[in-house]
């Protein structure tokens, strides 16, 4: 599942503040944190 989320993070068009984050950092920081949280939860399960 995290692999699919990473693909979605790279391919989805963003708008507003999230687009600004993508322009500034090269990826959606909020979405990337969500992936990290999912991976962390997987390790603790």
- The Cα 42–Cα 22 span in angstroms is 26
C-alpha angle 15/38/16, rounded to 5°?
A: 10
Instruction: State pLDDT tens for residues 1-24.
Output: 566 766 666 666 667 888 888 889
Higher confidence at residue 36 or residue 1? 36
pTM of the predicted protein model: 0.54
DSSP string covering the chain: -HHHHHHHHHHS---HHHHHHHHHHSS-HHHHHHHHHHHHHHHH-
| Residue 19 contacts residue 5 (beta carbons within 8 Å) | no
Annotated domain spans of the chain = 2-44
Model pLDDT, residue 11: 60
Tokens of 11: 């391919």
Please give the average per-residue pLDDT across 25-30, as a whole number: 87
């Amino acid at each position: 599942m995290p692999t699919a989320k990473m693909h979605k993070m790279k391919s989805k068009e963003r708008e507003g503040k999230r687009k600004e984050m993508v322009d500034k950092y090269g990826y959606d920081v909020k979405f990337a944190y969500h992936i990290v949280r999912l991976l962390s939860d997987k390790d603790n399960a």
